Amino acid sequence: MEEEIFGLILLVLEYGSFEEAITWINKQSKPLVLYFFPQNQQKQKQILNSTSSGRVYFNDAVVRFGVWGFPLAASEKVV
């Protein structure tokens, strides 16, 4: 990826190992949102402890679009 994707696009990437995915995330600019679909809570904790993003969603990609007033960016506040 060379440019920021801004809009209703969900980027899905394939990776060879979990560690490879974490390395890729950390090499990029800090994402506003990270969606992750883990099989267990250990992977959730590993993502939270090993990456940095504005928001993290586990096993859900649509909850933020269903809540009126939910901020798009990490710096916005819910009113």
Q: pLDDT tens for residues 58-67?
A: 887 666 666 6
Residue 40 domain flag: yes
- 50 lies in a domain? yes
Residue 34's domain comprises 18-65
Residues 6 or more apart whose Cβ sits within 8 Å of residue 75: 54
Q: Put residue 24 in one of left, alpha, beta given phi > 0 → left and psi -120 to 50 → alpha.
A: alpha
Is residue 25 included in any domain, yes or no? yes
Instruction: Tell me whether residue 54 is in a domain.
Output: yes
One-letter amino acid at 25 equals: I
Burial 40-66 (b: 16+ CB within 10 A, else e): eeeeeebbeeebebeeeeeeeeeeeee
The pTM score is 0.64
Give domain status of residue 46, yes or no.
yes
Q: What's the structural domain count of the chain?
A: 1
Question: Is 79 part of a structural domain of the chain?
Answer: no
pLDDT at 53 > cutoff 50: yes
User: Does the pLDDT of residue 73 top 80, yes or no?
Assistant: no
Assign 1 a pLDDT band (cuts: 50, 70, 90). Answer: low
pLDDT band at residue 7 using 50, 70 and 90 as cut-offs = low
Per-residue model confidence (pLDDT) at position 63: 63
Q: Is residue 4 part of a domain?
A: no
In a domain? residue 42? yes
